[in-house]
Amino acid sequence: MFHFPQWTNTALRVLLVALPASAAYGAWVLMAATDPATTHVGYAPEQPVPFSHKLHAGALKMDCRYCHTTVETSAHAAVPPTQTCINCHSPADGNGAVELTAVHAGSRKLTEVYRSWAEGTPIKWNRVHDLPDFVQFDHSAHVARGVSCVSCHGRIDRMDVVSQDHTLSMASCLSCHRNPEPHLRPLDRVTDMDWVSPEPTDSLEELVRDHQNIKANQNCSTCHY
Ligand code: HEC
Ligand code: HEC
Ligand code: HEC
Ligand code: HEC
Ligand code: HEC
């Protein structure tokens, strides 16, 4: 009996999702091509709080993982809850007393943070990066293997407002998956935006040895259900 190779199943499913041979497909492509949330580069939605990565991650040198706590361990990189902001931006109490950790207490820019904290409802951050639903992406698979945030998100530490820096097209994923080695770095440097690859010395050899078993997959089923 003839068996199709396993990848055709996934490819067919993807094609069924993505390529119905109908006018709807044309409309979908047009929409996908004009929706800034998917055509991507430069997309920078306005946020409910003028939160600046340039200030917090750049000037104050806070590690990405202080706020995006799950980025090394799960598929999704958690956006921090209001509690994380309150660690430094606690509001004045009922009597107007201000804690030591109340940076810029009473600032109008923090109004939405105080509201969220008082009411116990989250701040509605707007998504910047958003892959179509038929693609699966996993942060931990990358970050825990030595691929830095900067490879996909650019210099977030220099952005007042986060904007999409790289296209997240299939071609961009594949171009790294074909040859990931130049994009790998020591694990303790994954959030260091300034890190540059050392000259080909012992430490580079060590790095390569560290990453010996990494072979990013190019099967359709790696990224498509
Ligand atoms: C003080 C907390 C904090 C730190 C530190 C921080 N972030 Fe963020 N990050 C946020 C918040 C809040 C948002 C949502 C609002 C926004 O997009 O600005 C966010 C959004 C993002 C987004 C966009 C998410 C989306 O919707 O697509 C990326 C990418 C990101 N951060 C990467 C980083 C990287 C890389 C670093 C380290 C260089 C970092 N962040 C450090 C709090 C933080
Ligand atoms: C580790 C401490 C720390 C954490 C956590 C933190 N911030 Fe800040 N934030 C600061 C400091 C310090 C400043 C002021 C820097 C300055 O003025 O030079 C600041 C400034 C700001 C400002 C500008 C206020 C103004 O009036 O200019 C906003 C808005 C802000 N933070 C939002 C947030 C949000 C939202 C979060 C949570 C996602 C957050 N911060 C988490 C330390 C922190
Ligand atoms: C290999 C590329 C890649 C790397 C490395 C990477 N990201 Fe992402 N990131 C993405 C993609 C793609 C998305 C959109 C995911 C989606 O829509 O499902 C995203 C989304 C996000 C989001 C929004 C929440 C989410 O999970 O969708 C945050 C926050 C974020 N990244 C932070 C980070 C931080 C911090 C690092 C480094 C510690 C990092 N990313 C490393 C590609 C990457
Ligand atoms: C800069 C390099 C780079 C980019 C860009 C990149 N990847 Fe990866 N990817 C890797 C590496 C390295 C691994 C880990 C391979 C390993 O563990 O052996 C990986 C692993 C994965 C895995 C887990 C595979 C498994 O076998 O568990 C998925 C899923 C994935 N990537 C999806 C994507 C998608 C979707 C994109 C584009 C949005 C993307 N990647 C972009 C380098 C990259
Ligand atoms: C490393 C991850 C990765 C692998 C491997 C991969 N894809 Fe994709 N694919 C993506 C991403 C990301 C998108 C979404 C691109 C966008 O939104 O522009 C996508 C989109 C698509 C689309 C929708 C049309 C388009 O171009 O936007 C089809 C069809 C598709 N992939 C088929 C396949 C097939 C067939 C294979 C195996 C030969 C495959 N993909 C392997 C990441 C991958």
Tell me how far apart the alpha carbons of residues 192 and 61 are, in angstroms, rounded to a whole number. 10
Residue 3 scores a pLDDT above 60: no
Would the CA dihedral through 126, 103, 157, 203 be positive or negative? negative
Residue 29 scores a pLDDT above 50: no
Cβ(62) – ligand 5 distance below 6 Å: no
Least confident of 14-18, 58-62, 113-117: 14-18
pLDDT tier at 94 (50, 70, 90 boundaries)?
low
Cβ(11) – ligand 4 distance below 6 Å: no
The separation between the first and the last C-alpha atoms of the chain, rounded to the nearest angstrom, is 25
pLDDT, the chain, mean: 83
Cβ(165) – ligand 1 distance below 6 Å: no
Of the residues 12, 16, 40, 170, which should be mutated to test ligand 5's pocket, given the most ligand atoms within 8 Å of the CB?
170
What is the per-residue pLDDT across 157-204, written as a single tens digit (0 to 9) for each? 999 999 999 999 999 999 999 999 889 999 999 999 999 887 765 666
Predicted pLDDT at 26: 44
Residue 35 scores a pLDDT above 50: no
Residue 36 scores a pLDDT above 60: no
Tell me how far apart the alpha carbons of residues 93 and 95 are, in angstroms, rounded to a whole number. 5
Cβ(136) – ligand 4 distance below 6 Å: yes
Give me ligand 2 centre to Cα 103, in Å. Answer: 7
Predicted pLDDT at 119: 96
Q: Which amino acid is at 107?
A: S
What is the per-residue pLDDT across 42-87, written as a single tens digit (0 to 9) for each? 899 999 999 999 999 999 999 999 999 999 999 999 999 999 999 9
Q: Which residues touch 13 (CB under 8 Å, ≥6 apart)?
A: 224, 225
Q: Which residues touch 131 (CB under 8 Å, ≥6 apart)?
A: 137, 168
Predicted pLDDT at 91: 84
CB atoms within 10 A of CB 168: 19
* Residue from 73, 77, 70, 74 nearest 162 by CA: 77
Cβ(138) – ligand 4 distance below 6 Å: yes
Which atom of ligand 5 is the closest one to the Cα of 10?
35
Count of CA atoms in the C-beta half-sphere (13 A) of 76: 5
Which atom of ligand 3 is the closest one to the Cα of 131?
17
Of the residues 49, 52, 56, 107, which should be mutated to test ligand 2's pocket, given the most ligand atoms within 8 Å of the CB?
56
Which residue's entry shows tokens 């490819």?
11
CB atoms within 10 A of CB 101: 11
Cβ(148) – ligand 1 distance below 6 Å: no
Give me ligand 1 centre to Cα 28, in Å. Answer: 30
* Rg of the chain taking only CA atoms, in angstroms: 21
